[in-house]
Structure 1
Amino acid sequence: MASKLLQLQSKACQATKFVTQHGTTYYKQLLEQNSQYIQEPPTVETCNLLAKKLLYTRLASIPGRRDAFWKEVDYVKNLWKNRQDLKVEDAGIAALFGLECFAWFCAGEIVGRGFTFTGYYV
């Protein structure tokens, strides 16, 4: 156990040395490549202002997203009213979508339980 700890410590030291030697070069290169996204002056106040702009812009977009949601709901209601005209392809897509939602639900349940499969008959 002590030998593994020493190996881990030596690898951590090597990683630290690599970062100290090459970190600033990588940092400068990253900033140069993405300079179009940097807001001048780069201060805490500017960051706070941008965060507020993002929050209120997203809040302002809620009515548009709500309207788009209700348009989708109306479309589904219209499809359900005219279900006798529904094609096999549309029904297949709807079935696959429902299956995908169920699969994501099951995956979420498994992840929530810590990746255990208890409670399901497999």
Structure 2
Amino acid sequence: MISGLARAAAAAEQWGEPDLRTRCLALATAAARRLLDAHVGAHGEVMRVDFDGDVHTRGYLEDVAFLARACLDLHEATLDLAWQDAAASWPATLWRTTRWPGASASTSPPTTPSV
């Protein structure tokens, strides 16, 4: 949704609709701020589930990827470096919090059978 709104803002600018661009960017920014405030923990981990104000369950890789993509789209639309910085922080956090000792980027978990 956030990426779609950011891209709609760019299209509205091309169509000569500055009010629509402003509204789309405001909605995209508000949605992204809500996700960052509620779904990104103090140590940078992305959380997946928000039920009745209770945020739990660590996010999957696609959660991190889609949130990062949304922030990059907002950065592209607004040129605000804070969005780029947010997106750049999660890969390192994901690597730090999910890998096991001695792992590299190309290794499989120790419990995965060899093929």
Task: Give the TM-score of the pair, scaled to structure 1.
Answer: 0.28
Higher RCO, Cα 8 Å, sep 6+: 2
Between structure 1 and structure 2, the one with the greater Rg is 1
User: Higher strand fraction: Structure 1 or Structure 2?
Assistant: 2
Q: Comparing both structures, which one devotes a greater share of its residues to helix?
A: 1
TM-score when normalising by structure 2: 0.29
